[in-house]
Amino acid sequence: MPELTYLQAIRQALVDEMNRDPTVLLLGEDIAQYGGAFKLTEGLVDVYGPGRVIDTPITEAGLLGAAAGAALMGLRPIVEMQFIDFISCAFNQLTNLVAKFHYRTGKPLPLVVRGPAGAGVNAGPFHSQSPEPYFLHTPGLKIVAPATPSDAMGLLKAAIRDPNPVIYLEYKRLYRRLKETIPPERTHAIVPIGEAAVIRRGSDISVLTYGQMVHLCLEAAQQLEVSDGIELEIVDLRTIRPLDERTILSSVRRTNKAMIVHEPPRIGGPAGEIIARINELAFDYLDGPILRVTAKDTPVPYSSPLEEAFLPRVTDIVDAARWLARF
């Protein structure tokens, strides 16, 4: 049973869905002849032809508009942002037109916007961002952020089949570093949008996280269990909008303490919304303040030492957990 990298799992999901449904097509810059900036779509144009794997001009707003039109005509377009940072160039199309279409008309608009997100590869401030806070505020959009190859595969299939727009964040630092053996029966599994997963049971602190931060939290949990006897319960949110409120609150009610770890900078990040919901719905269960471990409130630095200081680190998670455990 072969291992799949995170990148290969995403590619396999695209292949599976294109084979299953002839209305699925790919649009993006350099995704056909060149195979994509990270070679994720390499060779697909030879299999499916230029009518289903479409090289577009360098205009994110234009390709979002074209994809929306295709969706209205009964197709299921998947738009690749060469880097997810460039989604800002299509902000109006996505937030004012695509996101509101179902609300205004009652009709579906099946469309996926996917692309490499996150820092940790020294790509600088224009190719390393985590833009989910901008879209968390926008009704009509779903946002998913898989942390493992199996979830990357299952969530992408769910996003493609969803009747309305989904932003799919994939972590470039995990593309070729993260591998997983996925049993054949799981390759066809759909990971439902809006369902978190408790990936590590613990009794002392609930750690709510997603994306590549999941792996730092697991490392911190192992370290704390050995060094301090502190047991972290780790909840992989998997979906940022809609949040799995039931799983979040259930975990917090068990442990009575909570931390949120995410890659976007602190101000306006998803942690604020999660903390608000816990305070509103589970305040009586808390035995301490809810902590946030996030990136710094600066642009993503290019310099490797500065980027490391910008991002949450395992030591940051460990220190916060120790403080909260003593509270």
So what's the pLDDT on residue 1? 62
Helix (H) or strand (E) holding 9: helix 6-20
Q: Which of 112, 113, 53 is nearest to 85 (CA)?
A: 113
Q: DSSP letter at 3?
A: E
**327 residues of the chain, pLDDT tens digit each:** 679 999 999 999 999 999 999 999 999 999 999 999 999 999 999 999 999 999 999 999 999 999 999 999 999 999 999 999 999 999 999 999 999 999 999 999 999 999 999 999 999 999 999 999 999 999 999 999 999 999 999 999 999 999 999 999 999 999 999 999 988 777 788 999 999 999 999 999 999 999 999 999 999 999 999 999 999 999 999 999 999 999 999 999 999 999 999 999 999 999 999 999 999 999 999 999 999 999 999 999 999 999 999 999 999 999 999 999 999
Give the separation between CA 148 and CA 213, rounded to whole angstroms.
Answer: 11
Q: Is 316 exposed, middle or buried (0-12, 13-18, 19+ CB in 10 A)?
A: middle
Q: Helix 6-20 vs helix 149-161: angle between axes, to the nearest 10 degrees?
A: 30
Give the separation between CA 314 and CA 34, rounded to whole angstroms.
Answer: 37
CB 61 within 8 A of CB 89: yes
CB 199 within 8 A of CB 233: no
Active site (annotated) includes residue 127? yes
Q: Is 51 exposed, middle or buried (0-12, 13-18, 19+ CB in 10 A)?
A: exposed
Query: Which residue's structure tokens are 């470039």?
Result: 172
Residue in 127, 137, 188, 215 annotated catalytic:
127
State residue 206 phi and psi, 5-degree precision: -85, 125
Hey, what domains does the chain have and what are their CATH numbers? Answer: 3-186 (3.40.50.970), 197-326 (3.40.50.920)
Q: DSSP letter at 32?
A: S
